[in-house]
Amino acid sequence: MLAIIGGSGLTQLSTLEISRREVVRTPYGEPSGALTFGVLNGAPVVFLARHGYGHTIPPHQVNYCANLWALKQAKVSAIVSVASVGGIRADFAPGTLVVPDQIIDYTWGRKSTYFEDADKPVHHIDFTEPYDAKLRQRVLAAAAAAGEHVFDGGVYAATQGPRLETAAEINRLERDGADLVGMTGMPEAALARELDLPYAALNVVANYAAGRSASEHGIQFDSIELVLQEAMIRVRRVLEHVSKA
């Protein structure tokens, strides 16, 4: 069964035939919300809103450990993360869909591993390729089947939030090799790896990153909302094909 974690702009799947909702308790506290089970394009899926169903949980306060553990308990076979991002690379304009292949982690203070208690041995994961290769190809194939253009590859910079970045910070991220900037990619991807859950991301460029827009008025939040509304329609088409793949 496929799991979909929705971020900003995807608090629900309008085409999901809901069968039940389940409130889950985990050893790591409560997840962001109830798990929503249902059928998407004839295939069983479970959906979780990363920021809560009322979008009330900021990125740095998401209980990533509980979210991933809850999905593991639900016996999902793979996770597709949907998240909005800022575009650093010039061709990653607002509305662009990207399936990233690398991550740079700039977050701090977040619980980022299941293996840090005194009674647990140190556990190292191979994070050379942070996204599951087969699942990435599945998402790319689904996009092609849906007739939606997506970019194959990109370096995702995970920042702390909840504020957006300064222009100087974006310049630094670009020098580091980042193409996209978001606030929720880590530790989510690493926790999925610790739980042996295949994980891939479908990023939606909501706006140009700070200092990258031609606008003299900075980032326009009204425009972001309009971009996400249109882009999420396309994301849902892709997800419908991922679910049946």
What whole-number distance in Å separates Cα of residue 89 and Cα of residue 79? 26
What whole-number distance in Å separates Cα of residue 30 and Cα of residue 19? 21
Q: Is 213 annotated as a binding residue?
A: no
What whole-number distance in Å separates Cα of residue 236 and Cα of residue 144? 13
- Residue 65 CA to its chain's centroid (Å): 14
Q: What is the mean pLDDT of the chain?
A: 92
Residues in the chain: 245
Is the pLDDT score of 13 beyond 90? Answer: no
- The proportion of the chain whose per-residue pLDDT surpasses 90, expressed as a percent, equals 78
20 DSSP β-pair partners: 37
- The proportion of the chain whose per-residue pLDDT surpasses 70, expressed as a percent, equals 94
Q: How do the domains of the chain map onto residue ranges?
A: 2-244
Q: Is 51 annotated as a binding residue?
A: yes
Is the pLDDT score of 214 beyond 80? Answer: no
Q: What does the pLDDT look like over 139-169, one tens digit per residue?
A: 999 999 999 999 999 999 999 999 999 999 9
Is the pLDDT score of 218 beyond 60? Answer: no
Q: What does the pLDDT look like over 76-130, one tens digit per residue?
A: 999 999 999 999 999 999 999 999 999 999 999 999 999 887 677 778 899 999 9
DSSP three-state, residue 62: coil
Confidence of residue 29 (pLDDT cuts 50, 70, 90): very high
Locate 6 and state its tokens: 């929705």
* pLDDT on residue 220: 64
* pLDDT on residue 215: 59
* pLDDT on residue 82: 96
Q: Is 245 annotated as a binding residue?
A: no
Q: Is 8 annotated as a binding residue?
A: yes
Report whether 157 contacts 106 (CB < 8 A). yes
Q: Is 131 annotated as a binding residue?
A: no
Confidence of residue 216 (pLDDT cuts 50, 70, 90): low
Q: Is 106 annotated as a binding residue?
A: no
* pLDDT on residue 204: 95
Confidence of residue 229 (pLDDT cuts 50, 70, 90): confident
Please tell me which residue, 177 or 218, carries the higher pLDDT value. 177
Q: What does the pLDDT look like over 50-83, one tens digit per residue?
A: 999 888 999 999 999 999 999 999 999 999 999 9
Report whether 146 contacts 237 (CB < 8 A). yes
Phi-psi region of 235 (alpha: psi -120 to 50; beta: other; left: phi over 0): alpha
* pLDDT on residue 17: 87
Q: Is 49 annotated as a binding residue?
A: no
Please tell me which residue, 124 or 136, carries the higher pLDDT value. 136
- Residue 241 CA to its chain's centroid (Å): 18
Q: Is 50 annotated as a binding residue?
A: yes
DSSP string, 81-144: EEEEEEE-STT--TT-EEE--EEEE---SS---S--STTS-------SS-S-HHHHHHHHHHHH
178 DSSP β-pair partners: none
What whole-number distance in Å separates Cα of residue 22 and Cα of residue 34? 5
Place of tokens 């977050």: 107
Could you tell me which CATH class the domain 2-244 is placed in? alpha beta
* pLDDT on residue 139: 98
